[in-house]
Structure 1
Amino acid sequence: MRTIPASELIINDDGSIFHLHLLPEQLADTVILVGDPGRVALVAEFFDTRECEVSNREFKTVTGTYKGKRMTVLSTGIGIGNIDISVTELDALANVDFATRQEKAQKRQLTLVRLGTSGAIQPDIKVGEFVFSRTSVGFDGLLNYYKGRNDVCDLAIEKAFMEHVGWNELLPKPYFIDADKTLFEHFRDVTREGITIAAPGFYAPQGRWVRLEPQDARLNEKIESFDYHGRRITNFEMEGSALAGLAALMGHRAATICTIIAQRIAQNVDTDYKPFVRKMISTALDKLAVLE
């Protein structure tokens, strides 16, 4: 069995994992992921009990219970790179023996649910709606670095999309990855289904033009008009593809749910979106509390 070198899996002197600073026993099987460290407190205030609070850089964690179920809430910061760190280290906490640096024979499956904010790119999606990313589209290229990428991705829709938009070969090859089917069915009654793009940036990668013009100023129009057997691309965010992809490769359940705070077609945004986010959090917690 492979022993993972110290340079590949860095363990701190106190036995915690390098970036998250968590000990294996501090991790619950149900993990809520948020981008903003300040949102961890917003989630944790719903908890009935708290057993630990850990903070390092942008990674803030609280583990406790909600309606009798043990849960962890973790802030990842913004972007795909931080998801690569967070999900890899969460998996290591669950499935690597830190004493031997070897994979555990008995694997532990985590349920990873990201709660975020997003901008809609279809005119019928309203600010305040909750979109469940049934499929995530990675504009980031992260999953292309991992063996098994094609085994978990939908290659047919990927090909159709690239042909539809005339994908620029300068950009990373996009990948389409589905959320966990059990989670999709579980949240179906409280969310709207969508195909969500995870972009590697907030501005040009999402078609925004401040001073620097995007490489393809019409890309968002092409994205909006893409139709795959009646399914449309619905919204932009910045983390969901890597979460879904890494989880699928590792054997975990994962999903992304976003509150819509901007309407890109109507070109409006609601900066007072906290009530929507709070409702999304309470709804998700109630659903996770009864998830098997």
Structure 2
Amino acid sequence: MSIKPSELILNPDGSVYHLNLRPENVALTIIFVGDQDRVDKISKFFDTIEFSTQKREFKTTTGLYKGKRISIISTGIGPDNIDIVLNELDALVNINLETRKPKTKLTSLNIVRIGTSGSLQADIPVDSFVIGSHGLDLNGMLHSYQIETITNSAIEDAFVNHTNWSAKKSYPIVIENSKELENKLTSNKTFKGITATAGGFYGPQGRVLRLTLQDNDLNHKIDTFNFNNHRITNLEMETSAIYGLSKLLGHNACSINAIIANRANGTFSENPGKIVADLITYTLEKLVE
């Protein structure tokens, strides 16, 4: 059965609605960034650029780096944007956009998120790199899908018990990364741990301006959580959505973050631009090894 036009929306040129991309525009290896300006900061290292487009916050550049075809896509901020980006990317490679029918032979994408984050642990310093071994979904977006086959109930239940998680909130979800990509990105420069993904920047991440938090101690509970040597190393707004949707759709995903702040120590990088630039070159080299 064909997918209805109201469900799979295409632009007049046949490109997918939000990303403004056609199947030939994307590589099988994709780098996600949040900030659209970071797309150019990565693509400047490419040997050649074959395609570039932008619609709203979604900017894409595809080109060659040391002979490897790579696409860079800015997702914007938050799990809701990841829902758009990953579903439309999957449609580009796994749905025939002319017949609107899923393909019988499916394609797996390799997706690496390059981000910035704050460390929650005192021993993970600013200017280091952290690989998310798992994504901890605190925002609830993934509950819109059938996720029973991809979750880790043991870690989830332990986290709920440790934090006295409110029953009024969405139940936390834990999803593992792609071990193949993790191994490719790992070196003596990287730390590993669970990356927690919040649905907002202020209250959902424990920041107080003028509004009272539902749980003033939640950040401390997150910092001190440890289950079979799994601890939460950093907090951001995209990783769990990337891991969850990638697992469900059959893609490989791994998130690596430049640590520009340490919230346990109250420190901030003296040169955050440099550590982000270092992570960009590090990741590109790891992808072509």
Q: Give the structure 1 partner of residue 134 of structure 2.
A: 135
2:209 corresponds to 1:201? no
Stretches of structure 2 that go unaligned for 5 or more consecutive residues are none
User: Take 1:113 and 1:239, find their aligned partners in 2: how far apart are those partners?
Assistant: 12
Q: Give the structure 2 partner of residue 52 of structure 1.
A: 51
The residue correspondences of 1:122-271 to structure 2 (distance < 5 A) are 122-147=121-146, 149-189=147-187, 190-270=189-269
SS of equivalent residue, structure 2 residue 82: helix
2:98 corresponds to 1:99? yes
Moved runs in structure 1, 4+ residues, more than 6 A?
A: none
Question: CA offsets per residue over residues 148-193 of structure 1, 9 Å max, x none?
Answer: x020011110001101100011211110001001111121214211
SS of equivalent residue, structure 1 residue 202: coil
1:80 is displaced (CA, Å) by 0.5
Name the amino acid aligned to 1:168: S
The 1:102/1:202 distance shift into structure 2, 3 A limit, reads same
Identity %: 45
1:271 is displaced (CA, Å) by 6.6
1:212 is displaced (CA, Å) by 1.0
SS of equivalent residue, structure 1 residue 156: helix
SS of equivalent residue, structure 1 residue 25: helix
1:83 is displaced (CA, Å) by 0.3
User: Take 2:52 and 2:183, find their aligned partners in 1: how far apart are those partners?
Assistant: 32
1:229 is displaced (CA, Å) by 1.0
Name the amino acid aligned to 1:229: N
CA contact (8 A) 2:126 2:267 kept: no
User: Take 2:81 and 2:168, find their aligned partners in 1: how far apart are those partners?
Assistant: 23
Question: CA offsets per residue over residues 96-120 of structure 1, 9 Å max, x none?
Answer: 1011000111111100110000011
Name the amino acid aligned to 2:138: F
CA contact (8 A) 2:124 2:191 kept: no
Name the amino acid aligned to 2:57: E
User: TM-score normalised to the size of structure 2?
Assistant: 0.98
1:289 is displaced (CA, Å) by 1.3
Q: Give the structure 1 partner of residue 107 of structure 2.
A: 108
User: Take 1:170 and 1:120, find their aligned partners in 2: how far apart are those partners?
Assistant: 27
User: Take 2:270 and 2:90, find their aligned partners in 1: how far apart are those partners?
Assistant: 35
Name the amino acid aligned to 2:120: I
SS of equivalent residue, structure 1 residue 85: helix
User: Take 2:263 and 2:85, find their aligned partners in 1: how far apart are those partners?
Assistant: 29
RMSD between aligned residues: 0.9
Aligned residues: 288
SS of equivalent residue, structure 2 residue 149: helix
Stretches of structure 1 that go unaligned for 5 or more consecutive residues are none
1:232 is displaced (CA, Å) by 1.1
1:138 is displaced (CA, Å) by 0.5
SS of equivalent residue, structure 1 residue 274: helix
SS of equivalent residue, structure 2 residue 148: helix
